Structure 1
């Protein structure tokens, strides 16, 4: 029998797990504001810079299904603790190296550690809260994760400019250790009077879990829904947003921090509303999941078409990203469907598969953008026109995701 009311202990457990997730987001988005510094620190070009993000999000994406199975098998607490410590190790290595290859290895560790955070929180929610609360809390989790993006956009960026590379990334490592301790002390997998995981559920085979999620149309629809709604935002936040604004539009660091903060605040506001919409629409949410990314694509086109024609683009860019914040939380609609339709024994593995979408998109698109930037700039300083051409790489990857989503949508309707 599910949880019927919210307890204070449930809120403490959720907030402690959220702290790990927030630090994971801060580490994940740190290269989004440190990209220009990384070019100087490692002496690299745009293509090699893109490898940092491509490797991290690629590892993150590939780890989602295995990590989901581990969370299903061992519980959220152990995976939050382990993931936070792995992230901390990666950040500390990154802080004290000037070797490009060692730094790539550090980003691999960060990607592995990061991959456990969101899935662990998703496992905690239905165990500690009434199911009717879960869609809204799921969106709140994603929204408050943007607190981590605020930390990378404002205090981390300030520290990076004021104190340099080593102290800034070492601070992220220290934060990882602190939240690992918090997870160990405060997080519990189920309430004391809750139903424990039955032996049969814990011991089902890996083959069964893999087959179940890889053959589920709900999981594939979740993958492509996440791909097209959150993928472009991930490309912007994880790497190319800050270089685009500073090098392309000649905005200063304070203005970039303002843009990223406005987007983060807007997402915190819009995500719970999206959760309410998802809960009320039920299976009909897939229609919104198909329309919203097309609206978002139109907003990105407006940004690239007109941003350079405005004398002070801060207000314009902020307004467009504020509008985009209404569509990006739709990426989580697939998680709601998976929670409703999949066997509880494979729920987190299925969520992990869906959560791969945006990161596969980001892995492919960041590398394509880096290649196109170098190809178009021909060794010269990057300009706005270079970024306009380069972001066509994202358009190609996004279109592939929309085709996948359309196929899933058609198959779903044919089976109804």
Structure 2
């Protein structure tokens, strides 16, 4: 208060704060666009599994559920971080080059995560090390892919409500993550604690969330494409898009 000015001399006064009515209008407008909901479900379906594993249940699972040492479990989490750093720019390049195919990236990551978890849970513990490393690498792709949800919020909303849309999208992944964290703990509590079999049961709580979010992504994508078509942007079917790309390469 004594030393710093609120803003440099001569700078324009800040815009007045939004009224409660304007805030509500922004929320309803952002939510009404199916592109925002597509972002929310994309964020929810791709963030929760990797986040729950990295922040809470991964180390107990690897140690008590798979028989690894604490040092080995720590190394696995390091692999998760490093793999995410590699995958992130690749996903960013894909979404920049193929903005109309972002949902396929989301659905692929959801499907790959569910598939590798299925294999891991079907194998009697301890699972082979290579399989656990594969699980960690696939989980590493979840965080970068969840950022696609924010890209949906950015591209489907006008500038004045992008922050609101991003906030809505952000709710999806963390709601799914907190729900999964709680459910895993509850299943462990009623299934005997930190045992291999209890962990195998506990991780099953992820599958309904994957099913829900994958279906929601497909439905929201369909509605978003209808809005795009009404605005003059037609999204060709994936098969047709691949055929066109193949023709362009052959013409070169």
Larger relative contact order (CA 8 Å, sep ≥ 6): 2
Alignment partner, residue 335 of structure 1: 150
Alignment partner, residue 241 of structure 1: 58
Higher helix share: 1
Is 1:199 the counterpart of 2:199? The answer is: no
In 1, the alpha carbon distance for the partners of 2:152 and 2:181 equals 29
The 1:197–1:330 alpha-carbon spacing in structure 2 relative to 1, beyond 3 Å, is farther
Alignment partner, residue 294 of structure 1: 111
My pick for the range that moved more, 227-236 or 400-409, is 400-409
In 1, the alpha carbon distance for the partners of 2:95 and 2:26 equals 26
TM-score (norm 2): 0.77
Q: Deviations over 1:60-83 (max 9, x none)?
A: xxxxxxxxxxxxxxxxxxxxxxxx
The 5 A counterparts of 1:272-291 are 272-291=89-108
CA contact (8 A) 1:307 1:317 kept: no
Unaligned runs of 5+ in 1: 1-191
Deviation of residue 196 (structure 1)? 7.9
The 5 A counterparts of 1:296-375 are 296-306=113-123, 308-310=125-127, 313-375=128-190
CA contact (8 A) 1:231 1:357 kept: no
Unaligned runs of 5+ in 2: 1-7, 230-252
Deviation of residue 284 (structure 1)? 2.5
Deviation of residue 307 (structure 1)? 6.5
Alignment partner, residue 264 of structure 1: 81
The 1:220–1:196 alpha-carbon spacing in structure 2 relative to 1, beyond 3 Å, is farther
Which of 195, 199, 220 in structure 2 is aligned with 1:383? 195
Deviation of residue 235 (structure 1)? 1.6
In 1, the alpha carbon distance for the partners of 2:138 and 2:212 equals 23
Deviation of residue 305 (structure 1)? 2.3
Q: Deviations over 1:22-54 (max 9, x none)?
A: xxxxxxxxxxxxxxxxxxxxxxxxxxxxxxxxx
Deviation of residue 261 (structure 1)? 0.2
Deviation of residue 203 (structure 1)? 3.2
In 2, the alpha carbon distance for the partners of 1:265 and 1:386 equals 29
In 1, the alpha carbon distance for the partners of 2:83 and 2:13 equals 38
The 1:198–1:342 alpha-carbon spacing in structure 2 relative to 1, beyond 3 Å, is farther
Give the count of matched residue pairs.
217
Runs of 4+ in 1 over 4 A off after TM superposition: 195-198
In 2, the alpha carbon distance for the partners of 1:297 and 1:221 equals 20
Q: Deviations over 1:160-189 (max 9, x none)?
A: xxxxxxxxxxxxxxxxxxxxxxxxxxxxxx
CA contact (8 A) 2:44 2:146 kept: yes
TM-score (norm 1): 0.48
User: Rg bigger for which structure?
Assistant: 2
